[in-house]
Chain A
Amino acid sequence: MADAPLIALQGLEKRFGEARILRGVDLEVARGEVVAIIGPSGSGKTTLLRCINFLEDFQQGRILVEGETVGYREEGGRRVKRADADIARMRAHAGMVFQSFNLFPHMDALGNVRLGLTEVRGMKQAAAREHATAWLERVGLGGKLSAYPSQLSGGQQQRVAIARAVAMEPKVMLFDEATSALDPELVGEVLSVMADLARSGMTMLVVTHEMRFAREVAHRVVFMDQGAIVEQGPPAQVFDDPRSERLRQFLGHLSARL
């Protein structure tokens, strides 16, 4: 892995009105690293992910992707919001997969994957089609190119969503509870695509409740609670030898549920 982090979050603060959702979060992610973010509901995991590609604004702190600040430029110590086109350009570097898939219902699977290739990356239709087809084949959906989202199962929809994001060849992939909305028997097919991506060297931030996936695939596990990172480390340490009482409680609740 390269020395300079691919992503650096520095003192990230996010508030909704009076509520502090993120409380000065610092986090660095190296190129090729897979970081699983775990924690109870409302701990700020999803908000953290959404801030990284500026789907959420933040009030303080900085996010750097390859040294470039996300959302704001800094001019003489002041934060100046970037232009829409600039924000859009940077978003294309961070592919995102959502809990509820968010496929475009008026486009077939191929159209969903091709849209960003033609409109953002400026690829010609034929090249975009070829590239999109290759990614849909890679996630096991080569036979569903013309299927509309309403004709696909949840697992298939999420795999199209992954193909749509990865086809843009982003620097990092952000997964926001990508399997939480799926029937249990469909979770495996999505996790297997995610594990395949991780093996290919993709940098990934994965907000997940799938502890087995976090243990087996992630290089590092970050535990968040109440808008702050409470503990982080290699999966074996976080799961088998938690240092903080809060993480012990969280893991205890999980194992009680299983």
Chain B
Amino acid sequence: MIDLVVASAPLIGRGLLVTLGVSLAVLVLGSLVGLAGGLCLLYGSRALQWGVRIYVDALRGIPHLVLIFAIFYGFPALGLQLSAIAAGIVALSLFCGAHVAEVVRGAVASIPRGQADAAAAIGLAFRDRLRHVILPQAVGRFLPAWVNTAVEIVKSSSLVSLVSVVDLTMATQQIVGRTREALLFYGVAALLYFAINFSLSLMGRQLERRYSHG
């Protein structure tokens, strides 16, 4: 049994790297989109708020897999051919962005108005009020929800295997197909997903402590 696992380690390792890469790319892109989206929901013009609200609500109501398929199989009809991995990253980033936008909006809105007033009263312009006063306080409030989103994204990254990306899930499927050791290798995959998400949660808790202000 150990021999089997050792022999399969290179493929599992490559799959794990792809899963980590996809998750990281989605979290970075999605968080940037979400930060911008959340700030638009709070401070944008009425039209912008409306547009972002439609994006957030629509994306949260569509299954992840439908969007991955739509982008991978549907975009070529529009003359835009994305690789399987790019289609997966774009689709999941859009989902991540929608979730993070709502998380950022909620966190920033929960900062007492007096903080923005005090920052304005010493002459800080809008951008500096956000940078020095509002966002540093909002980070502590949105971290728990952001970590939940990150965990969901790592789990959802397994969906890219359905457009033939050899991530951890697909690598595991290939190994199981070859060895017929489903319980063993899906168990290994489950452990690895759990390890990633557990590390994320621990990191989140540490950051939360760092950014919490009594």
Contact = CB atoms under 8 A, between A and B. Distances in A.
21 contacts: A55-B120, A55-B121, A85-B125, A88-B126, A89-B123, A91-B121, A95-B121, A98-B114, A100-B114, A104-B119, A104-B137, A105-B214, A106-B137, A115-B133, A116-B123, A119-B124, A119-B132, A148-B213, A150-B213, A150-B214, A165-B122
A133 B137 CA distance: 24
A102 B137 contact: no
B128 interface: yes
Nearest to B126: A84
A164 interface: yes
Contacts of A164: 118, 122
Q: Determine chain B's interface SS by DSSP, over half rule.
A: helix
Interface string A117-133: 00110000000000000
B173 to A, nearest CB: 47
Contacts of B117: 50, 55, 96, 98, 102
Contacts, number: 77
Contacts of A91: 120-123
Contacts of A95: 121-122
A203 interface: no
Nearest to B137: A106
A176 to B, nearest CB: 10
Nearest to A104: B133
A95 B133 CA distance: 17
Interface in B116-168: 117-126, 128, 132-133, 136-137
A38 interface: no
